[in-house]
Structure 1
Amino acid sequence: MSLGSRIKSLRKAQHLTQQKLAEKVEVSRIYVQALESNRRLPSMKLLQRLAPALEVEINDLLMDFSSPGKPGRVQLESMLENGELEIWYRSKKLSENELKRVYRVIEATLDDWEETDAKER
């Protein structure tokens, strides 16, 4: 089960519409739709808002419960689809200062996207 499918399943289990979930986590309905269809990945800040809104722990959002015999397997398929594994692999060659710089750029970009989505509501 992909992260987006997991978010959608948990949202429905809580009897929330995409709009209600969007309001709870302070993003647009379109952004929730993009998360559920795996077109976007949530930032850590958004995961910290999604988990309580869906009444689960962050780890529960990221775990793959569809693999019998492999409890706790992280969603590698969605990481591969979104290029995160390649980024992780390449980041292993960076110095600590370079990693901090990359992290700041990524966080600023994600914050900007969330602000843009919030303004569109």
Structure 2
Amino acid sequence: MFKFTVNHIAISVKDVVKSIEFYQEVFQLKEIKNTASNSKTRWLVFNDNRQLHLIPKPNEVVKINKAVHFAISTINIQEFISHLIALEIGYSDWLGTVKKDYVRNDGIIQVYFQDPNGYWIEVNNDVR
């Protein structure tokens, strides 16, 4: 049987500079060198060494809905929600209720918000 781990998430972005600034400000991600090519794609890294690749595609149309999202976990979910509020980034629960978190049946708290390109991001406290 194969074993897999997540290596990176790649998303198309309209403005790579604006996206880099957003992800660094919201998640304090560090930019690392794009070792794959000399393209304008920029790489960021999470604390667990998983990467986020931001691929500039200013003329592409990407269909976005909340079901297409990625999730990031933190043990300090309430502190992170306060961070979003301080940054004036709107958030909601899964149903779209503004400024509301959601507690799943298993007790996990989650919030959703969008990056500058409209991608949905879930942040939860599922750190198991």
Q: TM-score, normalised by structure 2?
A: 0.28
When you count strand as a share of all residues, which structure comes out higher? 2
Q: TM-score, normalised by structure 1?
A: 0.29
Instruction: State the structure with bigger RCO (CA 8 A, min sep 6), 1 or 2.
Output: 1
